[in-house]
């Protein structure tokens, strides 16, 4: 075992990924990993005290009398079995490598696993934290609230702070699957960060830094590799040049996946993990650029719709453009769960919290009787200073104001104006 404070390196064909036995301080994590957009694996001490570590696992003795931990299927089924979960069959994929998802009761999936069936089934994107938090107190089971707490180094999470405060959605997930189940190669929504903790079991990760992204796609179509373990060189001739970081994540370890890194994940054993997608001021410019790219991609895909609307409003350019923008933003929302309106409202929510913390000025949305948020904004010592946040937000704000003016009207305009007001308010503070 490594001494306290020591580091390990997991080797790969393109470099190393750092493994830390002890959690870094927030300042170390900010400087070495957030700002450098660099992955890291952190040992079990980061999540000591999580109830899930005890409740979701149980000891098992092998024929060689070796004691190990395994998933406590009985507890999961008893505590959460009636919940509807999204299940992918990893043995089935469409022509583009996408895995179809179906809904099922968790207890039914667990029953299959316990019988030795359904080994290719993978429970993914399970919003368990949201389900537990929103359940009536009379129906909550002892020992399930909360089953984990977000590590402090990940507390500066603009996505979940906004979504849990203002919507019925979030980006907090549980994944459960047998050995061999996997998540195909992908990049997290709009270049967001992610962190993932193995409560029980082990995973293998393939991580590709952003500069290798072009190597992962067909040359003539916007289609990426589906499974890095089985790539057709005729379809993806550039993939042979890719050099991923390949790392095995052990039980109790947490991996930080930086912004814009494509990655694929395989369960080496039966595994249950807790995962967040998240963002903050550090990677906000990457999210903004990704949103801009997505809007252009959808607009290009809807060229026939644009032509149809233009021809139906020959005498009113503003009318067809406004209608087209609404169609585009609706599809962007369907694709990833947010669009320009939610993006700017999220920024305003986080920026308002930071300005309030440093100026003591109450924001208009606050009320004296407001309940404690499910995912509070990060305190001052767990986020960058306000000057840094402003330096990250302002270029995005100014660029957006320079885009097509019809993209910034109505509710979107109100959200952007609130961001501008908060920038000015924060910059005037001593």
Query: Is the dihedral angle over the CA atoms 63, 67, 69, 73 positive or is it negative?
Result: positive
The answer to whether 156 and 378 are in contact (CB under 8 A) is: yes
Give the CATH number for residue 22. Answer: 2.60.120.650
Domain end among 243, 278, 313 = 278
Q: Into how many domains does the chain fold?
A: 2
Same domain, 325 and 339: yes
Owner of token pair 């580091």: 7
Is residue 121's pLDDT more than 50?
yes
Q: What percent of the chain clears pLDDT 90, i.e. is strictly above it?
A: 69
Distances in Å between the Cα of 419 and the Cα atoms of 47, 161, 247, 352, 416 are: 35, 16, 40, 8, 5
Q: The pTM is what?
A: 0.90
Q: Which helix (H) or strand (E) holds 286?
A: helix 284-301
Same domain, 237 and 358: no
* Structure-model confidence comparison of residues 333 and 366, the more confident one: 333
- How high does pLDDT run on average in the chain? 88
- Long-range pairs of 225-231 with CB within 8 A, sequence gap ≥ 24: 225/97, 225/185, 226/93, 226/96, 226/97, 226/98, 226/184, 226/185, 227/97, 227/182, 227/184, 227/185, 227/264, 228/185, 228/264, 229/266
Residue 144 burial (CB count, 10 A): 16
Predicted pLDDT at 137 = 59
Q: For residue range 175-199, what is the model confidence (pLDDT) as tens digits?
A: 999 999 999 999 998 999 999 999 9
Q: For residue range 326-364, what is the model confidence (pLDDT) as tens digits?
A: 898 999 888 878 899 999 999 999 999 999 998 876 555
Smallest CA-to-CA distance from 198 within 129, 275, 130 is with 275
The answer to whether 160 and 119 are in contact (CB under 8 A) is: no
Tokens of 192: 């967001």
Residue 131 burial (CB count, 10 A): 14
Same domain, 79 and 225: yes
Smallest CA-to-CA distance from 122 within 73, 176, 81 is with 176
Same domain, 55 and 193: yes
Same domain, 258 and 310: no
Same domain, 212 and 322: no
Q: Is residue 1 part of a domain?
A: no
Mean pLDDT for 260-285 is 98
Same domain, 324 and 269: no
The answer to whether 13 and 243 are in contact (CB under 8 A) is: yes
By residue count, the chain amounts to: 430
Smallest CA-to-CA distance from 184 within 90, 277, 87, 278 is with 90
Name the least confident of 40-54, 211-225, 370-384. 370-384
Q: Is residue 227 part of a domain?
A: yes
Q: Is residue 150 part of a domain?
A: yes
Tokens of 203: 């995973």
Domain end among 217, 244, 278 = 278
Domain end among 212, 247, 278 = 278
Predicted pLDDT at 14 = 52
pLDDT band at 145 (very low <50, low <70, confident <90, very high): low
Q: Is residue 2 part of a domain?
A: no
Query: Is the dihedral angle over the CA atoms 207, 213, 219, 222 positive or is it negative?
Result: positive
Domain of 108?
A: 7-278
Dist CA 176 CA 76 (whole Å): 10
pLDDT band at 374 (very low <50, low <70, confident <90, very high): confident
Same domain, 161 and 135: yes
Same domain, 322 and 419: yes
Same domain, 69 and 21: yes
- Long-range pairs of 299-306 with CB within 8 A, sequence gap ≥ 24: 299/324, 299/328, 302/327, 302/328, 302/331
Same domain, 187 and 226: yes
């Amino acid at each position: 075992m490594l001494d306290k404070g020591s580091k390990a390196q997991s080797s790969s064909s393109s470099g190393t990924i750092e493994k830390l036995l002890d959690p870094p301080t927030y300042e170390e994590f900010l400087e070495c990993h957030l700002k450098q957009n660099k992955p890291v694996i952190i040992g079990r001490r980061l999540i000591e005290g999580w109830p899930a570590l005890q409740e979701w696992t149980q000891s098992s003795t092998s024929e060689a009398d070796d004691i190990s931990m395994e998933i406590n299927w009985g507890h999961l089924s008893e505590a959460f079995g009636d919940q509807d979960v999204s299940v992918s069959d990893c043995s089935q994929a469409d022509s583009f490598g996408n895995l179809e998802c179906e809904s099922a009761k968790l207890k039914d999936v667990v029953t299959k696993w316990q019988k030795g069936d359904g080994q290719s089934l993978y429970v993914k994107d399970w919003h368990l934290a949201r389900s537990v938090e929103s359940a009536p107190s009379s129906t909550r089971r002892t020992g399930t609230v909360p089953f984990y707490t977000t590590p402090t180094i990940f507390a500066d999470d603009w996505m979940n702070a906004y979504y849990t405060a203002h919507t019925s959605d979030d980006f907090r997930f549980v994944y459960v699957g047998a050995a061999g189940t996997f998540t195909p190669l992908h990049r997290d929504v709009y270049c967001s960060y992610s962190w993932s903790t193995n409560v029980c079991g082990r995973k293998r990760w393939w991580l590709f830094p952003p500069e290798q992204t072009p190597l992962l796609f067909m040359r003539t179509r916007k289609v990426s590799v589906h499974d890095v373990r089985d790539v057709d060189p005729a379809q993806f001739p550039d993939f042979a040049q890719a050099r991923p970081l390949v790392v095995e994540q052990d039980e109790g370890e947490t991996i930080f996946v930086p912004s814009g890194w494509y990655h694929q994940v395989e369960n080496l054993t039966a595994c249950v993990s807790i995962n967040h997608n998240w963002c903050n001021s550090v990677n906000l410019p990457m999210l903004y650029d990704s949103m801009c790219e997505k809007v252009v991609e959808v607009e290009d895909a809807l060229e026939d719709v644009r032509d149809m609307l233009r021809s139906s409003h020959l005498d009113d350019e503003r009318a067809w453009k406004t209608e087209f923008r609404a169609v585009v933003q609706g599809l962007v929302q369907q694709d990833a769960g947010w669009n320009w309106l939610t993006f700017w409202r999220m920024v305003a929510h986080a920026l308002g919290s930071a300005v309030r913390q440093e100026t003591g000025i109450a924001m208009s949305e606050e009320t004296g009787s407001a309940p404690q948020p499910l995912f509070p904004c990060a305190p001052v010592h767990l986020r960058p200073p306000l000057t840094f946040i402003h330096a990250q937000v302002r270029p995005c704000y100014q660029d957006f104001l320079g885009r097509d003016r019809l993209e910034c009207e109505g509710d979107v305009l109100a959200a952007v104006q609130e961001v501008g007001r908060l920038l000015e308010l924060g910059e005037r503070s001593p």
